Amino acid sequence: MGTEEFNAVVIGAGVAGLYQLIRLRRLGMSVRVLEAGDGVGGTWYWNRYPGCRFDSESWTYGYFFDPDLLDEWHWSEHFAPQPETLRYLNHVADRFDLRRDITFEARVASAHWDDDATRWTVTTTDGHSYRSQFLVTAIGALSTPIMPNIPGVDRFRGESHHTARWPHEPVSFEGKRVGVIGTGATGVQTIQEVAKTAGHLTVFQRNPNWCAPLHNRPITDDEQAQIREDYKQIMERCRQNYGGFVHETDKRNAVDVDEAEREAVFQRLYDSPGFGIWMGNFRDVLVNEESNRLMSDFLARKIRERVQDPDTAERLTPRNHGFGTRRVPLETNYYEVYNQDNVRLVDLRDTPITEITETGVRTTDGLVELDMIVYATGFDAVTGAFDRIDIRGVDGERLTDHWANGPRTYLGLNIPGFPNLFTIVGPHNAATFCNMTRCIEQNVEWISDLLAHMQANGQERVVSTPEAEQAWTDHVFESGEKLLFTKVDSWFMGVNKNLEGRTEKRFVLYAGGAPQYRSRCDEVAEDDYRGFVLQ
């Protein structure tokens, strides 16, 4: 099989890969995008489970880079369901004629750097290879689904689906005995949907999360017109917010206001749509234990009000972490599901799962017979998709070895020893903890500007220095020191109990916030790409 030559190879055709393709084309480059799936969309292609939708406001999540695109797209709901987002990304692919540069069903197995030739050789699992001067990974932080390490997962003879590998054909729950394992953001969305039609639903919960109401509703034509008019302000608000959302943080500390005022603010946030409760709360809620406890207590009261059975309410209330220190699932009648006769909560902290059998899930309390098991057990987050590609840099150094003690990067975008490689939404990059399209656009534009700078100066090779990597890695660790979420186990902290060697916390995000990240990246560019060697 011959090797095809390109200026750049991009891996992944999600939000990041599609926009990177557009920007590289504008630089006059020949580009090949390699995508494992058979369509565009990434997250929104793979996660077709019932109830999957945004928790970002739809009108803050779409691309902002093209005013015409903004003008012509009408989101139907404030928090659009997955099929609509997939339609949107297909619309973008059509509008910019992107498919001609994308090879689908092409899973990249390896990417090796040849320093003499200044070229990457990228090989797919079916043996095709591609050579390019630049390699951009757009492989997603939440793209590698993980099955639970429970004995017998392969034995079950009924239907079983991981939420991130959901079938393209409709799946019916009508009258069936369904079990859902997992109560993260995905599990919560799935459970509230399955409960509507399942004959019986058993929820297997290991740890509950602090959930808050989504308050979704359709976007009226008037609202759509207003959103179009307001886009400039919306963009600016997203630029200012820590997580790239439209919400504005309350500048006060929760502990400094009196109880009535605090309660009123908590209630207003609880009654408001989206992540205001997380991203627009008092500024100390995610850093001060006492303020965090006040917010958590408020939510615990809400759970008790909404769940009729006090024992179930208690089991749905997190006790091992405070509000917002893990990803906050946004819900629609999630807690009320547990008031239905056809729904039962199994608390795995009391009665752990011992095995999966041919006919169901066995806990220490006995066998729960099921027709269908839904695995909402999450992802090998942030580094998972990197670990599954054999990436080798100068002198054959493996990226997995470079990251053996946790990721190390410069700006979360490049790694010393790995020239001409850029990692959109990579570890230690603000994009992993963001209203993602906002940060993805920043990543892509910054990389594209660097490549334009190289073209203008006749430079062919760029790589960061070990000193720059050390300084950035130190800064990344400092950025998280004050935040309560760094004390808690979750994918934010690189913990995945289903994977060997991943039970200890390691820092995989950048917690300094999107505005600070952006200004650091801009400073580097303005200072002649400080920390990079350009040749």
The interface partner of residue 150, options being ligand NAP, ligand FAD, none and the CB cut-off 5 to 8 Å by kind, is ligand NAP
According to DSSP, the residues that pair with 375 across neighbouring strands are: 162, 181
CA dist., res. 63 & res. 450, Å (int): 21
Q: Which is nearer to ligand NAP, 93 or 150 (CB)?
A: 150
The interface partner of residue 140, options being ligand FAD, ligand NAP, none and the CB cut-off 5 to 8 Å by kind, is ligand FAD
**Given candidates 52, 195, 234, 508, which one binds ligand FAD under the rule CB under 6 A?**
52
Per rule CB under 6 A, is residue 420 in the interface with ligand FAD?
A: no
Residues shown for the chain: 535
Burial class of 401 by CB neighbour count within 10 A (0 to 12, 13 to 18, 19+): exposed
Per rule CB under 6 A, is residue 180 in the interface with ligand NAP?
A: no
379 DSSP 8-state letter: B
Per rule CB under 6 A, is residue 46 in the interface with ligand NAP?
A: no
Per rule CB under 6 A, is residue 62 in the interface with ligand NAP?
A: no
CA nearest to 136, candidates 411, 390, 448, 429: 448
Per rule CB under 6 A, is residue 330 in the interface with ligand NAP?
A: yes
The interface partner of residue 376, options being ligand NAP, ligand FAD, none and the CB cut-off 5 to 8 Å by kind, is ligand NAP
> Which H or E run includes 534?
strand 532-534
Per rule CB under 6 A, is residue 288 in the interface with ligand NAP?
A: no
**Given candidates 184, 280, 393, 419, which one binds ligand NAP under the rule CB under 6 A?**
184
Q: Do 446 and 439 form a contact (C-beta atoms < 8 A)?
A: no
Smallest distance, ligand NAP to C-beta of residue 125, A: 25
Residue whose CB is nearest to ligand NAP in the complex, by number: 184
User: Total residues at the site for ligand NAP (CB under 6 A)?
Assistant: 26
The interface partner of residue 183, options being ligand FAD, ligand NAP, none and the CB cut-off 5 to 8 Å by kind, is ligand NAP
Report 383-402 residues binding ligand FAD (CB under 6 A).
385, 389
Per rule CB under 6 A, is residue 44 in the interface with ligand NAP?
A: no
CA nearest to 111, candidates 101, 98, 99, 124: 124
CA nearest to 393, candidates 140, 138, 135, 139: 135
- Integer CA distances (angstroms), 335 to 25, 187, 329, 438, in order: 48, 13, 12, 31
Q: Do 5 and 131 form a contact (C-beta atoms < 8 A)?
A: yes
Smallest distance, ligand NAP to C-beta of residue 55, A: 4
CA dist., res. 42 & res. 13, Å (int): 6
**Given candidates 29, 31, 32, 47, which one binds ligand FAD under the rule CB under 6 A?**
47
Cβ-Cβ contacts under 8 Å for 486 (sequence gap 6 or more)? 480, 492, 493, 505, 507, 511
Q: Do 434 and 479 form a contact (C-beta atoms < 8 A)?
A: no
Smallest distance, ligand FAD to C-beta of residue 520, A: 20
Smallest distance, ligand NAP to C-beta of residue 13, A: 19
CA nearest to 518, candidates 225, 173, 238, 134: 238
**Given candidates 103, 207, 272, 516, which one binds ligand NAP under the rule CB under 6 A?**
207
485 DSSP 8-state letter: G
**Given candidates 9, 48, 50, 56, which one binds ligand FAD under the rule CB under 6 A?**
56
**Given candidates 498, 499, 515, 516, which one binds ligand NAP under the rule CB under 6 A?**
498
Per rule CB under 6 A, is residue 51 in the interface with ligand NAP?
A: no
* Paired tokens of 310: 């006090």
Per rule CB under 6 A, is residue 192 in the interface with ligand FAD?
A: no
| Residue the block writes with tokens 């058979």 | 38
Piece of 21-29, 182-190, 363-371, 420-428 that binds ligand NAP (CB under 6 A) = 182-190
Piece of 2-10, 101-109, 183-191, 227-235 that binds ligand NAP (CB under 6 A) = 183-191
**Given candidates 183, 202, 435, 442, which one binds ligand FAD under the rule CB under 6 A?**
435
According to DSSP, the β-strands at 159-162 and 366-369 are: unpaired
> Which H or E run includes 331?
strand 330-331
Smallest distance, ligand FAD to C-beta of residue 262, A: 28
CA dist., res. 159 & res. 161, Å (int): 7
Smallest distance, ligand FAD to C-beta of residue 228, A: 21
Per rule CB under 6 A, is residue 315 in the interface with ligand NAP?
A: no
CA nearest to 105, candidates 79, 120, 124: 124
User: Total residues at the site for ligand FAD (CB under 6 A)?
Assistant: 34
Per rule CB under 6 A, is residue 139 in the interface with ligand FAD?
A: yes
Cβ-Cβ contacts under 8 Å for 347 (sequence gap 6 or more)? 205, 315
Per rule CB under 6 A, is residue 330 in the interface with ligand FAD?
A: no
CA dist., res. 111 & res. 128, Å (int): 12
| Residue ranges that bind ligand NAP, judged by CB under 6 A | 54-55, 142, 148-150, 181-187, 189, 206-207, 327, 330, 348, 376-379, 491, 497-498
| Residue ranges that bind ligand FAD, judged by CB under 6 A | 11-17, 34-37, 42-43, 45, 47, 52, 54-56, 61, 107-108, 138-140, 142-143, 186, 385, 389, 425, 435-436, 440
